[in-house]
Amino acid sequence: STSDPLKVVISGAPASGKGTQCELILQKFGLVHVSTGDLLRAEVAAETEIGNKAKEFMNAGQLVPDDIVTAMVAARLSRDDAKQKGWLLDGYPRSLGQAQSLEKMQIRPDVYIVLDVPDEILIDRCVGRRLDPVTGKIYHLKFFPPQNEEIKARLVTRPDDTEEKVKSRLSIYKQNAEAASSSYSNIAHKIDGSHSKEVVFKEIESLLSQVQQDKVKILKSG
Ligand code: AP5
């Protein structure tokens, strides 16, 4: 129903496949994608005040201060398209403080997805990742190489995707993950993210379809 659109949070370690699954979820469910990583990278590229502040933290593999990120998320989620189509929040909340900020703003997801992937796989995925600055698409040198030489030539590596920085990002993730997700235990669904992206998506797709159906039922009965 358009009056109560789907609200989804997707979480998981660095390179667990959040961005990749978001591309597929958007195609099927038409939600507004709100990725704090993408929003921050756009600010950095545009050399805005926010971008200049965020850059040093991001390049070091550390979290950007909460106030900056929370203001960005609040602004994006309050826009009409997000209210009408529903949203897919990717990379936020990432700490207890951020989860509390959402709660204070009375922003509550219907479902909280956790992509679960072993550490060894994560490092490989990060180090081989390449981004297409023209389309925003995510590639991987080994797992999802680009279709042609033209795309291949323009791909860029994220400055925080070196093995050393990935390890630091992973350890920060582990320090925060439990606290960040603690308020969502009743709507949390862990999904094995180590399979192929199609297999992972099938599981997410059936979960989200179910949540969507349940919402329609509640609307009709209420
Ligand atoms: P962000 O961009 O959110 O980075 P991240 O959480 O580390 O996640 P990634 O983007 O690295 O990975 P992903 O899970 O999206 O994986 P992907 O699909 O690309 O944040 C970056 C930085 O911004 C943070 O470090 C921080 O500084 C700042 N920031 C962001 N949010 C913040 C917040 N809330 N608070 C404070 N600071 C914040 O996949 C990875 C690779 O694997 C790709 O190459 C892909 O092709 C490949 N792959 C994906 N799925 C599969 C599969 N099933 N099989 C094989 N390969 C796969």
| pLDDT tens, residue by residue, 53-102 | 999 999 999 999 999 999 999 999 999 999 999 999 999 999 999 999 99
Question: 145: cis peptide before it, omega within 30°?
Answer: no
4-48 per-position pLDDT tens digit: 899 999 999 999 999 999 999 999 999 999 999 999 999 999 999
Give the mean model confidence (pLDDT) for residues 117-146.
95
Task: State the pLDDT confidence band at 155, using cuts at 50, 70 and 90.
Answer: very high
| Annotated catalytic residue within 94, 125, 130, 215 | 94
State ipTM: 0.97
Which residue, judged by its Cα, is nearest atom 41 of ligand 1? 125
| 8 Å CB contact between 29 and 87 | no
Beta bridge partners of 81: none
Share of the chain above pLDDT 70, in %: 99
Confidence of residue 2 (pLDDT cuts 50, 70, 90): very low
Q: What is the residue-wise DSSP string for the chain?
A: -TTS--EEEEEESTTSSHHHHHHHHHHHH-PEEEEHHHHHHHHHHTT-HHHHHHHHHHHTTPPPPHHHHHHHHHHHHTSHHHHHH-EEEES---SHHHHHHHHHTT---SEEEEEE--HHHHHHHHHTEEE-TTT--EEETTTB--SSHHHHHH-B--TT-SHHHHHHHHHHHHHHHHHHHGGGTTTEEEEETTS-HHHHHHHHHHHHHHHHHHHHHHHHH-
Dist CA 207 CA 196 (whole Å): 17
Ligand 1 test: best mutation among 125, 171, 196, most atoms within 8 Å of CB?
Answer: 125
Residue 188 β-bridge partners: 112
Is the beta carbon of 91 within 6 A of some atom in ligand 1?
yes
Residue nearest ligand 1's atom 40 by CA: 15
State how far the Cα of 111 lies from the Cα of 196, in Å rounded to an integer. Answer: 22
Pick the catalytic residue from 7, 41, 130, 169.
169
Q: How far apart are CA 169 and CA 183, in angstroms?
A: 22
Query: Global pTM?
Result: 0.95
CB-count burial class (<10 Å; 0-12, 13-18, 19+) for 13? buried
Mutation pick for ligand 1 pocket among 64, 73, 126 (CB with most ligand atoms within 8 Å):
64
pLDDT at residue 3 above 70?
no
Query: Does position 1 have pLDDT exceeding 50, yes or no?
Result: no
Minimum-distance ligand 1 atom for the alpha carbon of 144: 46
- Check pocket membership of 169 for ligand 1, CB cut-off 6 A: yes
Mean pLDDT of the chain: 95
